[in-house]
Amino acid sequence: MMMNFPIISLEKLNGVERKDTMEKIKDACENWGFFELVNHGIPHDLMDTLERLTKEHYRKCMEHRFKEVISSKGLDVVQTEVKDMDWESTFHVRHLPESNISEIPDLSDEYRKVMKEFSLRLEKLAEELLDLLCENLGLEKGYLKKAFYGSRGPTFGTKVANYPQCPNPELVKGLRAHTDAGGIILLFQDDKVSGLQLLKDGQWVDVPPMRHSIVVNLGDQLEVITNGKYKSVEHRVIAQTNGTRMSIASFYNPGSDAVIYPAPELLEKQTEEKHNVYPKFVFEEYMKIYAALKFHAKEPRFEALKESNVNLGPIAIV
Ligand code: OGA
Ligand code: NI
């Protein structure tokens, strides 16, 4: 059955539509791995300012560099499909456990300040969402936050991306298909230029651009903790011929030493054969494997971390 991409109005959690809204979130988590939030409480003028500063920064500091890299690799004149790179221009900022924004070059004071304010809002929103997931899963409030905590709290960071206008979108992806490694991902995407797609029932479905919305998706760690009740879903970015797409993706992930494993409450409710599908591991071990296998299927990543395979070394995971 084809259904419309789930759009959730968060303010409805405060009124008579709370139950319906929780149900919609549950359905989105179980069947899409993605949903789009409106009325999420993040001020629209803050988003507008961040968008303006991000686009200015791209034009001033990133665009020239991107074009140089593309032409030095001959990617502007390719005739066959390029499978080992993405048509994207990015930089990364870490917010937690400690911010590195003062070390990122070429950002104006205003851009740093606005990015910081936005990230604080998103951090709160991510934690609010984790508690809504707990409620839907029948886990105690705070369970997921605690599961991500490790010894120093969660890792939270932002990938600022622009997917430049591309002459040959059929030959090179903006970003190749993958699932996200971490916990919960919040995306502020361009409201005009589209390109993000998710894989649903074997079909690529567009994530519709919508002004001032926040797109949410679930990463591999939530699949493990929920013992597969929620799944991380494959997605990709198609570069566009009609303009550059901005995307500001923020990743709320476990701390590097957090130990990740299926919640015992969810294991108990499941049948025998669903036990032992997911391993128990330290998050940074997962990230080492992910770094090498990001654009591959996720199942071998889970397999590689099962206790019996841990000492087999890299041969076991390719
Ligand atoms: C990612 C990702 C999507 C986008 O960085 O993992 O999926 O639209 N980004 O930038
Ligand atoms: Ni992703």
Q: What pLDDT does residue 318 have?
A: 42
Is 162 part of a structural domain of the chain? yes
In this prediction, what percent of the chain has a pLDDT beyond 90?
90
* Residue (of 169, 175, 214) closest to 51 by Cα position: 214
The structure's pTM equals 0.95
How far is it, in rounded angstroms, from Cα 242 to Cα 182? 32
50: Cβ below 6 Å to ligand 1?
no
| Whole-number pLDDT of residue 2 | 53
Q: Give per-residue pLDDT as tens, 134-167.
A: 999 999 999 999 999 999 999 999 999 999 999 9
Q: Would 164 be classed as within a structural domain?
A: yes
Cα 57 to Cα 95: distance, rounded to the nearest angstrom: 19
- The least confident of 123-132, 179-188, 273-282 is 273-282
Task: Give the pLDDT score at 311.
Answer: 54
User: Does 180 contact ligand 1 (Cβ within 6 A)?
Assistant: yes
d(CA 8, ligand 2 centre) in Å: 20
Answer yes or no: is pLDDT of 215 > 90. yes
Nearest CA to ligand 1 atom 10: 247
Domain annotation covers residue 2: no
Task: Give, for 216, the enclosing helix (H) or strand (E).
Answer: strand 214-218
Question: How big is the chain, counted in residues?
Answer: 318
The C-alpha atoms of residue 185 and residue 79 are separated, in whole angstroms, by 34
Instruction: Give distance in angstroms: CA of 243 to centre of ligand 2.
Output: 21
**Of 302, 175, 300, 313, which is closest to residue 234 (Cα–Cα)?**
175
Give the residue-averaged pLDDT of 80-91. Answer: 96
Q: Is the CB of 207 under 6 A from ligand 1?
A: no
Give bridge partners of residue 196 from the DSSP assignment: 237
Which among 176, 217, 278 has a CA at the least distance from the CA of 31? 217
92, 248, 314 from 37: Cα distances, Å: 23, 15, 40
pLDDT at 42: 98
Say how far apart CA 11 and CA 237 lie, in whole Å.
29
CA 180 to centroid of ligand 2, rounded, Å: 5
Q: How far is the CA of 58 from the centre of ligand 2 (A)?
A: 20
Q: What is the pLDDT of residue 317?
A: 45
- Pocket perturbation via mutation, ligand 1, pick of 237, 246, 251 by most ligand atoms within 8 A of CB: 237
Q: What is the mean pLDDT of residues 181-207?
A: 98
> Total structural domains in the chain?
1
pLDDT of residue 123 exceeding 80, the answer is: yes
Give the mutation target among 87, 246, 247 for probing the ligand 1 site: most ligand atoms within 8 A of CB: 247
Q: Is residue 254 part of a domain?
A: yes
pLDDT tens for 267-277 read 976 666 666 78
Atom of ligand 1 nearest to the CA of 195: 8
Distance, in Å, from the CA atom of 89 to the CA atom of 87, rounded to the nearest integer, reads 7
pLDDT of residue 316: 46
Indicate whether 204 belongs to any domain. yes
The residue segments making up the domain with residue 214 are: 7-311
Residue 310 has pLDDT above 70, yes or no: no
CA of 274 from ligand 1 middle (Å) equals 30
List for the chain the helix, strand, coil content (%; round to 5): 40, 20, 40
Ligand 1 pocket test, pick from 158, 175, 199, 205 with the greatest ligand atom count within 8 Å of Cβ, gives 175
- Asked, for residue 1, whether it belongs to a domain, the answer is no
Ligand 2 midpoint to CA 9 (Å): 23
- Ligand 1 close to Cβ of residue 247 (< 6 A): yes
The first and second tokens of residue 14, run together, are 């405060």
CATH number at residue 207: 2.60.120.330
- Mean pLDDT score across all residues of the chain: 94
pLDDT at 75: 86
